[in-house]
Amino acid sequence: MQPIEIAPTIVAKRCLLPVVFLLFAAAILLQADLVSRKYGQFVRSEDCPWCEGIALRDDAAFIPVRADFLKLLAPADLHFLSNVLWVRATYYFGSHALTDRQYPYLFHLLDLITDLSPLWDHPYYFGAVVLPFEADAAEDGLYLIEKGLVYHPDNWQLWFFKGFCLWKSGGDMVSAAEDLHRASLLPGAPVYLAALSATFATQAGQKELALRFLEEARNNIHDPMHQKLLADKIEELLKGE
């Protein structure tokens, strides 16, 4: 009876599996530590009855550090991974909104999601509203909006959110007016944005800029009623000079 020969490739695969598992586990632990170091420490709130037992590491343990790592795991279905992370992000936001209202990982999650699915617009909208006004992270919100505009340059909502964020968080009325005006010229934008951009420019002491915005908006609109509204706004500004 001849001895059974085992192919070297089978032996190699059996030896490789435990190594891969250990490397994967080590990567998870390492990335949890890296994310914790990057985004600070969890601070418990005295007014938060649900915060008992919550640890920042619990949040970090399942958040990948880079999109590159995820692409190696599932190169064929990045949209599925972005959806999984979206569920994680919404759960993370909701759990902290009801507890300590601290969101140190939210931007990181949204950045990963938009790396994996850059054409998906909802994460940009979510970050544009939540990061500046709930997480007190206006710079992160503006970064995410700018990132979205790279892939959606004709999206009036993103231009609107950018202008609103610049006005509300930074008080930059002129830049906000310019972004709102740009939003007003894009397909699907509501007419009130043209008047709003002119109002911002006027309040910033830029009446000539406001008049230019209104003229451009009126030339861009074909509805007679809307043209009449903008014409009345122009006349109102001219009378106020």
- Domain-embedded: residue 173: yes
- Domain-embedded: residue 180: yes
- Domain-embedded: residue 50: no
Residue 177's CATH number: 1.25.40
Q: What is the pLDDT of residues 131-147, one digit of tens each?
A: 999 999 999 999 999 99
Examine the pLDDT at 107 and tell me if it is beyond 50: yes
Distance CA 130, CA 137 (A): 9
Q: What is the pLDDT of residues 25-44, one digit of tens each?
A: 555 455 555 555 544 444 45
CA torsion sign for 150, 154, 158, 162 is positive
Closest to 40 measured CA to CA, from 116, 127, 135, 105: 105
Domain count, the chain: 1
Q: Which residue has the higher pLDDT, 92 or 50?
A: 92
- Domain-embedded: residue 76: no
Q: Which domain holds residue 201?
A: 154-241
Read off the pTM: 0.73
- Domain-embedded: residue 4: no
3-state helix, strand, coil in the chain (%, to 5): 70, 0, 30
Confidence (pLDDT) at 42: 45
- Domain-embedded: residue 232: yes
pLDDT interval class at 154 (50, 70, 90): very high
- Domain-embedded: residue 141: no
Examine the pLDDT at 113 and tell me if it is beyond 90: yes
